[in-house]
Structure formats: structure tokens, C-alpha cells
Amino acid sequence: MFDVMDLYQQMINDHGKNPRNFGRLADADHEAEGYNPLCGDKLHVYLKTSDEGLIEDVSFEGEGCRISMASASLMTEALKGKPLADFKPLFDAFQHMVTSDISESPDEGRLGKLAVLAGVREFPSRIKCAILCWHTLKSAVKGGDDVAKTE
């Protein structure tokens, strides 16, 4: 039988090992640090917005577990080229997905490929790994020097 969880696992492995949009963005207009002390994941997120309010480019660098890298890779892919105004609703949808009951199907219409991370719900310690990049980008958008933390 076709197992969708296997496919999800393959995508997480692929993005975790070969993260997309990995590296420093020289002309970023927003950036922030994020740290997940529970696992040791560290991220630096870069964001470049246009005058029209579009996310022209978004990238990250850092070190962490496969889930944290895959999540950041998928997040940057999902947001590149989108209006900055889309960030907050997508953040909320992602946060809802990873904290909702396992019986609830992820909203694939809204989350797209990000739905592959729905499986972290079964492993509470991994939820922080998956959501670190979102908190980090949120603090980049907001500005300021605070390090985004999952704790």
C-alpha cells in the first residue's frame, strides 16, 4: 500500500540533507538569530523585502538537526516571492498544524509542502525543532536584537 508518511519522510530527509536557500543573504533588510536550547539548533534567518511588500528573497544558515534544517528549507521555499502579509497567516497555520491533535488532517491547501512536517506532532520535543525557523523569521520581521528562542 502507498504510504504517505514514507513520502513525507523522504522529503524531510531530502530538505534536511540538502537545504534550499541555505547561505547568507548579503543585501538582506531584516535578519535574526534563533536558538532552540532543547536540541541545540541554531539558525540565522535573512530576509529581503521589496517596496511593494513582497518577500523578494529569504535564506538561512546555521546548524541543527535534520528536522530544523528541513523546516527552514521548506519555509523559505514556501515564502519566497510571496507578499510579506502572507507570513503571519502561514505562521499561524503551521503552528496550528504542529500543535494540533494527531487525528486532525493538515490543511494542505494552505500549507502545501509544509504539511510534510505534520508528523512532528507525535514527537513533542521535535515540535520546537520544526517551529524554530518560524519564530526566528517572525523576530526578523519585527526587528530588534532579541534572539528568538523556543523556550
| CB 9 to Zn ion: min, Å | 16
Q: Residue 68, interface with Zn ion (CB under 5 A)?
A: yes
The angle that helices 4-17 and 66-79 make with each other, rounded to 10 degrees, is: 90
Please say which residue, 31 or 41, places its beta carbon nearer to Zn ion: 41
- The stretch among 46-54, 113-121, 122-130, 135-143 that binds Zn ion (CB under 5 A) is 122-130
Q: Residue 39, interface with Zn ion (CB under 5 A)?
A: yes
| CB 38 to Zn ion: min, Å | 8
Q: For the CA atoms of the chain, what is the radius of gyration?
A: 15
Q: Residue 65, interface with Zn ion (CB under 5 A)?
A: yes
Number of residues near Zn ion (by CB under 5 A): 5
Looking at residue 51, the DSSP 8-state letter turns out to be T
Please say which residue, 30 or 42, places its beta carbon nearer to Zn ion: 42
Q: Which of 78, 129, 131, 133 binds Zn ion (CB under 5 A)?
A: 129
Asked if residues 107 and 97 have their Cβ atoms less than 8 Å apart, the reply is yes
Separation CA 122–CA 44 (nearest Å): 27
Separation CA 132–CA 38 (nearest Å): 11
Asked if residues 130 and 75 have their Cβ atoms less than 8 Å apart, the reply is no
* Contact footprint for Zn ion (CB under 5 A): 39, 41, 65, 68, 129
